[in-house]
Amino acid sequence: MINKFDSKKNILRYPALILILVTGVLTIVGSNGTRTVTIAPSPLPPKQGDITNVRITASEKEELSQIEYSVNGLNGTRPATDVPFDVTLNTCKSNGNYRTTLTLEAEATYNDNEVRTNEQQYDLTVGDNLREDIDLDYAVYVSKGSNKDEEVMLDIANRFRSKFNSYSESQYHWSQKRYYKDEAIQYANSVDMAFSIGHGNHHYYLSSDGELDLSQTEFGNFTPCNANGDLEYLIFISCLTLSMEEVSATPFWYYWFHKESTKFTKKPFTGLHMVLGFRSTTRFNSYHWGRWRTWDGKNFVREFANKINSGWAIADAWIDAASDELKQSDGRNLAAVLYLREYENDTIFTEENDYIYGNDNYSSPGQKVMVYLD
């Protein structure tokens, strides 16, 4: 006589029996401790600048009485018939509103008076790298100018484009102020690296359509509201953009980084990793061969591109290429890099999260750094 349950073959003859057994086990476990209340924020992980949707739900809805919830202090109660439901929270900064954490709480009460709770807390000052566009790309913006200036700038821009091969080029445009401001999310803040060339001054860049006050811009993963900016490296080949001079007793870095009193306003470092530029005027050697060209300006960007392509730390590559290829003997061409210390050793292949004011990597003493030629 053959035992019906001794072989796999025989078990497969009784699928209905197996289903009954499994369902029974699940029912017993569920009513004895697997009731759950779930809080699921989206997008995930949340960051400041999101319109966060929080979906709240609970298991065994037929046994559920109600759910009480709190989303960053916004409290409410919903009957079982509403479950699942969504609560929306705007974490974009605005005057008087600068969210650094997202605290979510939900408490489900069942008809048999059993209570289930769930609490979650997220740090909104971290912009997870996974929230960014996965393409590694760069933009090149050139300012229109007089014939000679323009040809020399194009010469430099084209040399960089011909040598930098680690990212793909997604934009090559005449610079416009809107690329850095209102439409940044389609332009400078949509790429990983923005390379700009033109005239400049203390925290200013002259785009083709006028002066751009960079202290009124913001770049990085946290901006604009309800989107994911991408920019990590902002490069200016221009005079004085990274000048270290005080302006009316205001230190230069106040124009670039947030502090408590400016956190509601715009500043470039809103997830941005690094600004590369010059703290002095710049001077390149030019010559005419069919058009205006420069050999040292071109050598500088060629060397910078080669170094970052081969894995040099970006800040190191910028300073080294400038001091190798450009003359500093008359006080010009003093390259500088402004960054958060977290990114000091970053290569263009490093994947790092973004940070804003309020995060230790941004706000703690010693986290903001300038490296420069002197």
Partner 1 sequence: MKKQYRVNCAIILLISFFSCHAEIVNPDIKSEIDGILKKQVPVYQLDLKTNEENFERIDSWFQQYVDLNGFTCTYEDRMGPVQCKLKLSKNIPIISTDNISTIIRSPKPFNIYYTKGPRKRALRKALWIPSKIERSKDYIKQLANKFMYQYGYYKQTNNDKIDKAFVVSWRTRPLDLNIKKTEVSTILHRVKFSRVFQGLEVINSKQIVDFHPESLELLSYKNISWTPVNESSGKFKQYLTMDEVLSQIHAFMKEDGDASKIKEVRLAWYQSPDLIFPVMLVKTERVDREIEIYPIEHALVISLVKGLRLDNEDYAFEKPEK
Cβ neighbour number for residue 108 with a 10 Å cutoff: 28
Site string for partner 1, 238-277 (x = CB under 8 A): xxx-----x----x-xx--x-x------------------
CA-based nearest residue to 217, from 189, 175, 251: 189
Among the listed residues 101, 201, 216, 350, the single contact to partner 1 using CB under 8 A? 201
Cα-Cα-Cα-Cα torsion 236, 343, 263, 202, nearest 10 degrees, comes to -30
Q: Does 316 bind partner 1 (CB under 8 A)?
A: yes
Q: Which stretch binds partner 1 (CB under 8 A): 51-59, 113-121, 226-234, 282-290?
A: 282-290
Q: Up-side HSE of residue 176: CA atoms within 13 Å toward CB?
A: 11
Give CA–CA dist 195/160, Å, rounded.
9
Give CA–CA dist 39/354, Å, rounded.
25
Q: Does 47 bind partner 1 (CB under 8 A)?
A: no
Q: Does 68 bind partner 1 (CB under 8 A)?
A: no
Could you give phi then psi for residue 211, rounded to 5 degrees?
Answer: -75, 135
Site string for partner 1, 164-183 (x = CB under 8 A): --------xxx---------
Question: Contact 89/69 with Cβ under 8 angstroms?
Answer: no
Helix or strand or coil: residue 126?
strand
- Residue with tokens 């966060």, as numbered in its chain: 52
Q: Does 93 bind partner 1 (CB under 8 A)?
A: no
Cα-Cα-Cα-Cα torsion 160, 165, 171, 174, nearest 10 degrees, comes to 0
Among the listed residues 185, 225, 227, 370, the single contact to partner 1 using CB under 8 A? 370
| Nearest approach, Cβ of residue 360 and partner 1 (Å) | 14
Q: Does 307 bind partner 1 (CB under 8 A)?
A: yes
Q: Does 282 bind partner 1 (CB under 8 A)?
A: yes
Q: Does 373 bind partner 1 (CB under 8 A)?
A: yes
Question: Contact 169/161 with Cβ under 8 angstroms?
Answer: yes
Q: Which is nearer to partner 1, 107 or 296 (CB)?
A: 296
- Binding-site size for partner 1 (CB under 8 A) equals 80
Could you give phi then psi for residue 209, rounded to 5 degrees?
Answer: -110, 20
Q: Which is nearer to partner 1, 92 or 152 (CB)?
A: 152
- 329-358 residues in contact with partner 1 (CB under 8 A) are 329, 332, 338, 341, 344
Q: Which stretch binds partner 1 (CB under 8 A): 29-37, 54-62, 107-115, 161-169?
A: 161-169
Q: Which is nearer to partner 1, 37 or 317 (CB)?
A: 317
